[in-house]
């Protein structure tokens, strides 16, 4: 499997948070972060960096555009594979996915309800680089504070919570089959105070394989055109 596809698979697992830090699931402020009922569209720009099993760091960039009504998203992920640029582009239209690699012909597939997710109001949408799942599944580990007109939701693993976080991300008593044990995890999200709209996010995960090789993956992103993206134009080749 290509390293580029490998990182996407790992991100899918990670983004796919219950613990002993300050409980936030009953916090009305935190509930607003999770619902985002008034969010209708946005653009998310992200970048990732990964060092696989002790290898040199590799950089990846992502662009996601999404509208709620109609349910359409467009994404582009770029990185280097063996010194060559790899670009993966996709469009999701309701339950249909069109994707291509390096400008080749579009491949059409059908998405099951479970793959899309049932929560249409989620501020990130159902894509591989979806930080909303990190926020929701690990909600009991976050602490929230107000700073300069924004709310900051922060998480940092401790020796006491690390095992629980790994179980949540990879299944009970699970671990990533390639990278091994999760050794640390931290994340931070920022939201506009007045609207609760997302502003930015970042997270970092460290792993240690059985043969003691370290892997570090981090990602950060910023939101633009929140509720101001009116339309996503589809290429002629995939219009029906």
- CA–CA separation, 226 vs 60, rounded Å? 23
What's the confidence (pLDDT) of residue 156? Answer: 95
Higher pLDDT, 13 or 216: 216
Is residue 10 pLDDT above 60, yes or no?
no
pLDDT of 129-170, one tens digit each?
Answer: 345 677 778 888 998 899 888 999 999 999 999 988 888 877
Nearest to 183 by CA among 152, 211, 204: 204
- pLDDT score recorded for residue 213: 93
Residue 121 reports pLDDT greater than 70: no
Residue 28: the pLDDT is: 66
Indicate whether 23 pLDDT > 60: no
The 10s digit of each residue's pLDDT in 54-106 is: 888 888 888 989 898 888 989 898 887 777 888 989 999 988 989 898 999 99
Single pTM value for the model: 0.78
Residues ≥6 apart with Cβ < 8 Å to 212: none
pLDDT of residue 36: 65
pLDDT tens string 159-198: 999 988 888 877 776 677 778 889 999 999 898 888 888 8
DSSP run (H or E) holding 187: strand 181-192
Residue 42, pLDDT > 70, answer yes
Burial 190-200 (b: 16+ CB within 10 A, else e): bbeeeebbbbb
Q: Are 224 and 42 in contact (CB under 8 A)?
A: yes
Using an 8 Å Cβ cutoff, are 142 and 156 in contact? Answer: no
What's residue 95's pLDDT? 85
pLDDT mean across residues, the chain: 77
Helix orientation angle between 3-14 and 162-170, rounded to the nearest 10 degrees: 110
């Amino acid at each position: 499997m290509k390293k580029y596809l490998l990182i996407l698979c790992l991100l899918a697992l990670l983004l796919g948070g219950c613990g002993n830090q300050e409980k936030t699931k009953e916090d009305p402020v935190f509930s607003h972060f999770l619902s985002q009922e008034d969010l209708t569209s946005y653009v998310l720009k992200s970048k990732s960096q990964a060092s696989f099993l002790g290898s040199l760091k590799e950089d990846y960039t992502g662009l996601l555009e999404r509208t709620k009504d109609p349910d359409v998203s467009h994404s582009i992920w770029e990185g280097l594979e063996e010194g060559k640029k790899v670009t993966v582009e996709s469009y999701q239209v309701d339950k249909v996915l069109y994707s291509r690699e390096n400008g080749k012909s579009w491949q059409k597939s059908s998405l099951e309800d479970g793959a899309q997710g049932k929560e249409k109001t989620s501020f990130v949408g159902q894509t591989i680089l979806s930080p909303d799942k990190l926020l929701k599944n690990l909600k009991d580990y976050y602490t929230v504070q107000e700073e300069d007109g924004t709310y900051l939701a922060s998480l940092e693993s401790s020796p006491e919570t690390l095992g629980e976080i790994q179980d949540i991300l990879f299944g009970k008593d699970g671990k990533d089959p390639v990278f091994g044990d999760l050794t640390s995890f931290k994340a931070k999200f920022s939201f506009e105070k007045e609207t609760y709209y997302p502003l930015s996010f970042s997270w970092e995960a460290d792993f240690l394989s059985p043969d003691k090789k370290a892997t570090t993956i981090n990602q950060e992103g910023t939101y633009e055109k929140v509720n101001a993206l009116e339309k996503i134009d589809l290429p002629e080749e995939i219009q029906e």
